[in-house]
Chain A
Amino acid sequence: MILDSKIPEGPLADKWTKHKFNVKLVNPANKRKYDVIVVGTGLAGASAAASLAELGYNVKAFCFQDSPRRAHSIAAQGGINAAKNYQNDGDSVYRLFYDTIKGGDYRAREGNVYRLAEVSVNIIDQCVAQGVPFAREYGGLLANRSFGGAQVSRTFYAKGQTGQQLLLGAYSALSRQVANGKVKLYPRTEMMDVVMIDGKARGIVTRNLITGAIESHSAHAVLLCTGGYGNVFFLSTNAMGSNVTAAWRAHKKGAFFSNPSFTQIHPTCIPVSGDHQSKLTLMSESLRNDGRVWVPATVETAEKLRKGQITANDIKEEDRDYYLERKYPSFGNLVPRDVASRNAKYVCDEGRGVNETGEAVFLDFRDAIKRDGRNVIEAKYGNLFDMYMQITGDNPYEVPMMIYPAVHYTMGGLWVDYNLMTTIPGLYALGEANFSDHGANRLGASALMQGLADGYFVIPYTIGDYLASNSADRIPVDHPEFKKAEKEVSDRLQKLLSIKGEKTVDYFHKKLGKIMWDYCGMARTEEGLTKAKAMIKELKKEFWTNVNVLGSNEELNLSLEKANRVSDFLELGELMVDDALHRNESCGGHFREEYQTPEGEALRDDENFAYVAAWKYLGEGQEEELHKEPLVFENVKLTQRSYK
């Protein structure tokens, strides 16, 4: 199969405008004849569902949470980028595009990224019109802050709760359409499979999480806005329920999965404190605006610190190593996430880690408090400091925070073309669920931008192109393909319930997470990945013979929900390892130890790997087939990323 990205011809800046004119339209009276399913109600899902309903389509929106307002976009803290240039500091659509392409280590499509930068400005307008209370200056205009990988201030924010406010904005637009009768909501409902009829996505099968009922829903198009798969690592900053099931089941039905190994390890998370830990908590990247990252200059000092003989504040200025400022003087503490994470790992591997486990570095606000006063720092980051205090029991106004990298976001996802359509006609993927905009590393404050860009400003145009050329005939859910899919779903659940083995679901999930983190995390080697592949295969076999899933299908059953999700993570894990193994280069968050510059930076191989890897599922137990979409750079010059 030749992967056609459908990037329009012509100059970069005209592509989207031209494409919007060239796509087919569905006339207003006909829109009500088309049904669209939206799975997931985060920024991408809620904004898409609301916008499509406003246009007149009939929308069904699904989420596994008890309310669409709780999707994990809500936890995004720091902000959302937009090329408004309100600060008069040299920002432009082109600069946001350039920063994003460069930040992604040249593994994203120029056309998609430029469009993202272009519509970013509309997002801010839209959100303000909805009543999103962004931070403002005393003159009443919008405030901005800086984020990693950029030398301009273009990040809009609402305290440390930007994701919450943007999601509640999208949720309010969605709620309005529910009231108008254009959206029907299905909370506490999990998508179990895509239903294909005549080679097109025509609906989904779901499980009602309260009653266990397996149900079919028919539509003319299906949008997967189901987020990322960071929970394959067990410990991540994702919500407990975040999972890959919807995307994975679509993958098994024919949707190619792209760059699955591109994982973002976020540098500023609260370090792991013990085996009981269920999730990791992020401390917003915005803290790196004022916080300084350091470890002791010598291993001896670090040892004293770990033994509790001295505290951070006892260490004199000359005995501290502000390693980011030292190595990257122009970006300093605001280097991109992959660079910051890798450097934290280096200093900890050298034995300079600062907590009991040796896996933590300091993020220190002492100098910022001295410079600006405690009140200013409190106004900017108060809620984050409180959260830190609540979790660790330490007071960051008095002692430096301790942080360590953790899995945060997945740049990989379902392959989509410029229209956001997967390789299955009629099946779309939006937001974190697709692979398209962030390359091998996402810049801070760009996830919110992409989710809302896809939902508010891309899909409302591109979906019409597909629907206009497809008949509006509806397919009833008693069609044999729906019945067949329902049976497959029920059989799989029954199989999980019937194993009655000796280990709990979490036992397997934790084991998988450890394999992924050790061998497919911040640093990867051929040897480690090969080992990981064998281990995952073995674990998968053990899962299907020895897992103990309690209860029955016909009830609210957490054990069954988890088992169903973990069974997919086990399959995905293997593909991530394959992907990491085949890519014999380092780029962004994908760091293969064999491929690095003498300074320890990621060493790309543009000659052989400037492509999107797109994996095709061939069947149970078979190796997946690799397809390549070459990345064409007509506007930016590929260079070694430098933040020095």
Chain B
Amino acid sequence: MTLTTAVRCLLLACAIALLAGAASADDGPIGYIKTHAGAAFVVSGGKALEAVPGLALRQGDVLRTGDDGRLGLTLLDNTVMSVGPNAELVIDEYLFEPGNDKLGLGVRLLRGTMQFISGVIAKLRPDAVKVRTASGTIGVRGTRFLVTAGN
């Protein structure tokens, strides 16, 4: 490897690290896994992690369960969600800064079953909470409900 190639590789590595840093900036935990059984994973930044209690969740994470899987989680605004087997749930949007008037929660159930128990975001700004499936949207007015998304 020539010196210039080495320098180029180093620069490329730096650029990639910078980009990755930019993508994950301001990306603190939004909640944690609390329960799990069977095959249950959190896909975060392209990596699948086993959904063990205490695992941190971030905006953009995808929750996946297998045939025998289930998992439960809580978010920082006390929203509680749990999913059954063969489920895929995407946390599209999470904003919880009541002091700065920034509130939003958007999740998408691509398949499987879920329970949703609303938290503080739904209390402070009901319009900011949406649970979506492929063809329908649920607007939340402070409540507990179950969703199944069949294929």
Judge: A and B partners, yes or no. no
Interface residues in chain B, defined as those with a beta carbon under 8 Å from any beta carbon in chain A: none
Interface residues in chain A, defined as those with a beta carbon under 8 Å from any beta carbon in chain B: none
